[in-house]
Amino acid sequence: MLRDFKVIKVNNLNETLQLINSINEPYRFICGGTDVLVKAKDNPSYAKLLVDISSLAELTGIEERKSTFVIGSGVRHLQLIKYPAFNKDYSALVQAVSNIGSPQIRALGTLGGNIGNASPAGDSIPALMVFDADIEVRSLNSNRTIRLQDFFKGPGRTVLEKNEIITKIVVPKFEGYKSGWKRLGQRSGFAISKVSSAAALSYSTHPNGSLKLTDIKIALGAVAPTVIRVAETEKFMKAEQTLTKSMLKKACDILKSEIKPISDVRSNAEYRTAMAAELFSQIVEETVPVLK
């Protein structure tokens, strides 16, 4: 494992913004190291310069505001999992982050890193996506907010400019939504996801007993070059409204037609396609038990 990189250690956000504004060579941020260092060890040309942002206090902390939760991009997975409000209402997010790697990885890895790494199989991303998360990004002279859905360009690529850094992940507050996240790996424990699925939905029970869907958001991982929302499936379900087993089945068929996963060392396209729908179906069944 040839390691061939230099490091710049930055101490505060301002220093960082100044640095990346004037830097001439390619660089990558390193915080937890659970993706960047692994890649740097695997492939010496991956990073010649690392900017170590692990000391940036401005990127830590989870703040509750009036209508959002604001998560610092440097928050470690372990801290996020322990946050009480998330355990109450954001099941999908806690489930997702609890399944990233091993306990050791979760103590080091950060949410900003999981997003910035932009893996199509990145576990936190589908969960954040169904909560309509936004990414706050800063450069020396600007501040922008980008929808998570619009953040990814391809495997490992984001819309971040060279002089920008992810500072916050903003998750809106929801009322009355239930959510879930599932994935399949090559074994039961710590594994990279073959396919993952997240959904957040809200529904009401009609006086006649039928279930009316009011909103649904679905995101899938490892079935496309980036994590994606499946717009057609969402549209179909919101139009149909009445939640039944057969409506769910039709929704799954549409979901399968919206995706085109690849075959690789971990799995094949047919299985991934079928399982994306399967996992989604199971999430709905678990959040709407009557449908089981």
Report the site for other proteins in 114-173 (rule: CB under 8 A).
Answer: none
Return phi, psi of residue 196, to 5°: -140, 155
**Beta carbon of residue 4, minimum distance to other proteins (angstroms, whole number):** 6
Considering the rule CB under 8 A, would residue 8 count as an interface residue with other proteins?
A: yes
Considering the rule CB under 8 A, would residue 70 count as an interface residue with other proteins?
A: no
**Beta carbon of residue 195, minimum distance to other proteins (angstroms, whole number):** 10
Torsion, Cα 268 270 274 277, to 10 degrees, reads 80
Considering the rule CB under 8 A, would residue 19 count as an interface residue with other proteins?
A: yes
Per residue, what are the HEC states of 49-91? EEEECCCCHHHCCEEECCCEEEEECCCEHHHHHHCHHHHHHCH
Residues touching other proteins: how many (CB under 8 A)? 57
Q: Which CB atom, from 67 or from 188, has the smaller least distance to other proteins?
A: 188
**Beta carbon of residue 76, minimum distance to other proteins (angstroms, whole number):** 8
Spell out the long-range contacts of 34-42 with Cβ–Cβ below 8 A and sequence spacing 24 or more.
Answer: 34/101, 34/105, 34/108, 34/109, 34/113, 35/109, 35/113, 35/114, 35/117, 35/119, 36/113, 36/117, 40/3, 40/5, 41/1, 41/3, 42/1
Q: Which CB atom, from 204 or from 257, has the smaller least distance to other proteins?
A: 257
Considering the rule CB under 8 A, would residue 32 count as an interface residue with other proteins?
A: yes
Residues that bind other proteins (CB under 8 A): 1-11, 15, 18-19, 30-34, 37-38, 41-42, 44, 49-50, 52, 54-55, 78, 101-105, 107-108, 184-192, 265-268, 270-271, 274-275, 278-279, 282
